[in-house]
Amino acid sequence: MLLSRSLALFSLAISSLHAAGHDVVIYGGTCAAITSAVQVKKMGRSVIIVSPDKHLGGLSSGGLGFTDTGNKAVIGGLARDFYHRIYLHYQKPESWVQQKQSEYGNKGQGTPAMDGDSRTMWIFEPHAAEQVFEDYVKEFDLEVVRDEWLDRAKGVTKEGGKIVAITTLSGKTYAGKMFIDATYEGDLMAAAGVDYHVGREANSVYGEEHNGVQVGVLHHRHHFGAVKEPISPYKVPGDPKSGVLPRVSSADPGKVGEGDKRVQAYCFRSCYTTDPGNRIPFPKPEGYDASQYELLLRVLNTGWGEFFEKFDPIPNHKTDTNNHGPFSFDNIGFNYDYPEASYERRREIIAEHRTYQQGLLWFVANDPRVPKKVQEELRTWGLPKDEFTDNGNWSHQLYIREARRMIGQYVMTENELRKKKPTPDSVGMGSYTIDSHNVQRHITAEGYVQNEGDIGVGTNGPYEIAYGSLIPKEGQVSNLLVPVAMSASHIAYGSIRMEPVFMILGQSAATAAVLALNDGVTVQKLPYAKLRGQLLKDGQILEYSGPKTSRGVDPKSLKGMVLDDSQARLTGAWTESGAAKSFIGDGYSHDANARDGKASARFEAKLPKAGKYRVMLASTPNNNRASNAPVEIHHAGGVQRLKLDLRTPKPADGVFWLDLGAYDFRGEASVIITNEGTDGYVVIDGIRWLPAGP
């Protein structure tokens, strides 16, 4: 009898709690959590943010101030409002403490013609971003509870396929009608029993080209082909019996295109400063071990000079520092268990990443074996006194580039991003290059060290993101939306995973949650037409027909007759890319370092009048390019055959060019480039015929 009465009282208490809950419960403290909550409030519903983080904004306030945007024209709604508020912050004289605004200039600011009265700024300090998020909380009277961690084992209460409440480790319960998982890790989604994936899918799963293991595929300069000589992975160079150096795996890396459970590398997007009055010397971390950086020393001793390449300047003499090079701030191979690890284990992984990164800085700044020039320059940098003041001036947010990814109602793949398949029911757009950081550091068959997993593939302009990728499959959970750990393949997520896109998807998820609530339907049954109308009303950009990239140079703006690589007649296998900093049009093409003689590109033009023209090849430079790419210039006097060093193009007009010489033409002109007998990547961006006088 007493037991029955106790159960009845418990049931009554739970029912009262549910009745007193919020319309929408958001779990997470990321930028998407904030835009979701603001949107719910703007639509007249109650909302609470249950945040495991003390600081709001995730990586946007955690050091990523040099925003990865792609084409800014497709960033609308609350995402654009965030960057407008950043602009307004830096219009205040008091925001410029260590630097004059005039000295910094207009870097990272939108153009007046594009932005009108809503000017934007895309580069900012961490504390400035956090203040904008806190301003949202105050302005919209958002209810936020912090340092509340979901009980992932038994903290999700479901009834009839719906979540009715979540409970945190502290024992607090938050009831709601709709739920949004805005975490990088997808913890609520997983705990609610929704399907998800960790790691790289095989190319065969979704019919992709760039998923799975990427052995031998080298896109960026984050591999050992970027240095002048091959590097031994062994403690005694060339001697396998001496053992393998730290940070190198001796495991089989797998075969190209195979799936695996490995995850692309994490790092801190850490903030440093050169201002003496605001600078703290890099600390020596507890547990520092100089042997962890022996491989870096070997890289530096080859004369590799790009250590400071991604110290990107943000206001007040600070930097947003990202990984760059074969051995850098990415902690390759030390995060594989993070996505599904316990909170305790995740804290250990985060601490190890901090020790690794701070140890690397200490090593370069203090170890006497480091080349003097590099060491002296790093000593001009340090941690800023006015950032992350409650965390030893170190970022509170590890860059979780990828963790769990939902397998939802619709899965975004590279085929949608590259326009090989149409995308249904757009709820926002992305445009960044398809980008994965390295996944493992292995030993090649020749006995050298190599990084694997780095990808940079163009998307041929902005792309749409499907509503179905934000919601679980029909029959799993009917009142949950997932805008961050959303439904995408590993390689598609490599582009979608940008902070502005998370803000966009957060707003769209919240809009869907409120509309479904208003209509009394599940998120899977919400009519798209109604959702679309509200999103457009609120400033979201769902389609785009303007210039495909904000980085590409319009060929029509260049002097002479210019043909982009997209206008070439291609034979063999060519791969699109947009990883370089500048190029013509929407990207460029490369032969994937095939060296098989099967790839050729033929540029044909009808010149406006007869005469002498200087012929120029546009090609993005890199040390991994071919030094002997065969080219034929067909002109009035016959055929000129050359071998081109594609490592040495020179910048002009925002593009990199190789001068192929001046020739007479009588209207018809053609240039053919192949990969016959080449010793590196053959990269084609375009051809220019420039009038060269009489």
Tens digit of each residue's pLDDT (9 = 90 or more) over 433-442: 899 999 999 9
Q: How large is the average pLDDT for residues 368-379?
A: 98
CA angle 90, 92, 93 (to 5 degrees): 105
pLDDT greater than 90 at residue 224: no
- Strand 588-590 and strand 683-684: pairing? antiparallel
Spatial distance between the Cα atoms of 357 and 563, rounded to a whole number of angstroms: 44
pLDDT greater than 60 at residue 654: yes
Q: Which residue has the tokens 């904004």?
A: 57
Structural tokens at position 282: 């890099």
Q: How large is the average pLDDT for residues 149-158?
A: 98
First CA to last CA across the chain, in angstroms?
A: 108
pLDDT at residue 111 in the model: 53
Q: What DSSP assignment string belongs to 118-139?
A: S--B-B--HHHHHHHHHHHHHH
Closest by CA position to 411, among listed 463, 469, 479: 469
pLDDT greater than 80 at residue 551: no
What single-letter DSSP state applies at residue 82?
A: H
Report yes or no: 464 and 500 within 8 Å, Cβ to Cβ: no
At position 104, the amino acid (one-letter code) is Y
Q: How large is the average pLDDT for residues 484-495?
A: 98
| 398 Cβ contact partners less than 8 Å away, ≥ 6 residues apart | 266, 267, 268, 350, 353
At position 232, the amino acid (one-letter code) is S
| pLDDT, tens only, 513-546 | 999 999 999 999 999 999 999 999 999 999 998 7
Helices (H) and strands (E) in the chain, counts: 15, 37
Q: How large is the average pLDDT for residues 464-480?
A: 98
Spatial distance between the Cα atoms of 210 and 228, rounded to a whole number of angstroms: 27
Structural tokens at position 640: 């000129």
At position 90, the amino acid (one-letter code) is Y
pLDDT at residue 110 in the model: 62
Query: Which runs of E-coded beta strand occur in 531-573?
Result: 552-553, 561-564, 569-571
Dihedral-angle region of residue 570 (phi above 0 means left; psi in -120 to 50 means alpha; beta otherwise) = beta
pLDDT at residue 13 in the model: 47
pLDDT at residue 537 in the model: 98
For domain 2-199+403-424+466-537, the CATH superfamily is: FAD/NAD(P)-binding domain (3.50.50.60)
Spatial distance between the Cα atoms of 304 and 322, rounded to a whole number of angstroms: 17
| pLDDT, tens only, 329-366 | 999 999 999 999 999 999 999 999 999 999 999 999 99
Tell me the C-alpha to C-alpha distance, in Å, between residue 588 and each of 24, 128, 591, 685: 45, 36, 11, 5
Question: Range with the lowest mean pLDDT among 275-279, 305-309, 366-370, 395-399?
Answer: 305-309
Q: What DSSP assignment string belongs to 439-504?
A: -EEEE-TTS-EEEE--EEE--SS-EEEEGGGGSPPTTT-SSEE-SSS-SB-HHHHHHH--HHHHHH
Tell me the C-alpha to C-alpha distance, in Å, between residue 656 and each of 459, 619, 625, 646: 21, 6, 13, 10
Q: How large is the average pLDDT for residues 159-181?
A: 98
Q: What is the pTM of this model?
A: 0.84
Report yes or no: 682 and 597 within 8 Å, Cβ to Cβ: no
State phi, psi for 138 to the nearest 5 degrees: -70, -45
pLDDT at residue 550 in the model: 58
CB neighbourhood size of 39 (10 A): 27
Share of the chain above pLDDT 70, in %: 95
Share of the chain above pLDDT 90, in %: 81
Closest by CA position to 106, among listed 118, 94, 122, 125: 122
Spatial distance between the Cα atoms of 668 and 530, rounded to a whole number of angstroms: 55
Closest by CA position to 640, among listed 671, 686, 667: 671
Closest by CA position to 560, among listed 618, 638, 602: 618
pLDDT greater than 70 at residue 476: yes
Which of the pair, 5 or 486, is modelled with greater confidence? 486
Confidence at 324, pLDDT banded by 50, 70, 90: very high
Spatial distance between the Cα atoms of 47 and 38, rounded to a whole number of angstroms: 9
- 315-341 CB burial, b ≥16 within 10 A, e <16: bbbbbbbbbbbbbbbbbbbebbebbbb
Spatial distance between the Cα atoms of 513 and 355, rounded to a whole number of angstroms: 41
Question: Range with the lowest mean pLDDT among 37-41, 547-551, 560-564?
Answer: 547-551
DSSP H or E run through 365 = helix 343-366
Which residues make beta-bridge pairs with 567?
A: none
Q: How large is the average pLDDT for residues 573-600?
A: 81
CATH 2.60.120.260 boundaries in the chain:
552-691
Q: What DSSP assignment string belongs to 669-694?
A: EEEEEE-TT-SSB-EE-EEEEEE---
Structural tokens at position 81: 């409002």
pLDDT at residue 15 in the model: 40
Mean pLDDT of the chain: 92
Which residues make beta-bridge pairs with 436?
A: 455
Confidence at 622, pLDDT banded by 50, 70, 90: confident
Spatial distance between the Cα atoms of 548 and 558, rounded to a whole number of angstroms: 18
pLDDT greater than 80 at residue 203: yes
pLDDT greater than 80 at residue 372: yes
pLDDT greater than 50 at residue 10: no
- Dihedral, CA atoms, 17, 474, 423, 208, nearest 10 degrees? 110
Length of the chain: 694
pLDDT at residue 669 in the model: 92
pLDDT greater than 90 at residue 234: yes
| 619 Cβ contact partners less than 8 Å away, ≥ 6 residues apart | 588, 625, 644, 646, 649, 656, 657, 658, 683, 684, 685
Between helices 126-139 and 31-42, what is the axis angle to 10°?
20
Q: How large is the average pLDDT for residues 247-268?
A: 97
pLDDT greater than 80 at residue 463: yes
Q: Which residue has the tokens 């091959």?
A: 230
pLDDT greater than 80 at residue 9: no
Question: Range with the lowest mean pLDDT among 8-17, 32-41, 114-123?
Answer: 8-17
pLDDT at residue 11 in the model: 45
pLDDT greater than 90 at residue 322: yes
Spatial distance between the Cα atoms of 490 and 679, rounded to a whole number of angstroms: 30
pLDDT at residue 69 in the model: 82
State phi, psi for 276 to the nearest 5 degrees: -60, -35
- Strand 22-27 and strand 47-51: pairing? parallel
pLDDT at residue 457 in the model: 87
Longest CA–CA span in the chain (Å) reads: 108
Query: Which runs of E-coded beta strand occur in 90-233?
Result: 143-146, 156-159, 162-167, 173-181, 196-197
| pLDDT, tens only, 390-402 | 999 999 999 999 9
CATH 3.50.50.60 boundaries in the chain:
2-199+403-424+466-537
| pLDDT, tens only, 626-650 | 999 999 999 999 999 999 999 999 9
- Strand 552-553 and strand 440-443: pairing? unpaired
Confidence at 587, pLDDT banded by 50, 70, 90: confident
Q: How large is the average pLDDT for residues 581-609?
A: 86
CATH assignment of 552-691, given 3.30.980.10, 3.40.30.120, 2.60.120.260, 1.20.1250.20?
2.60.120.260
Report yes or no: 212 and 201 within 8 Å, Cβ to Cβ: yes
pLDDT at residue 20 in the model: 58
Spatial distance between the Cα atoms of 659 and 662, rounded to a whole number of angstroms: 9
State phi, psi for 629 to the nearest 5 degrees: -70, 125
pLDDT greater than 50 at residue 80: yes
pLDDT greater than 90 at residue 596: no
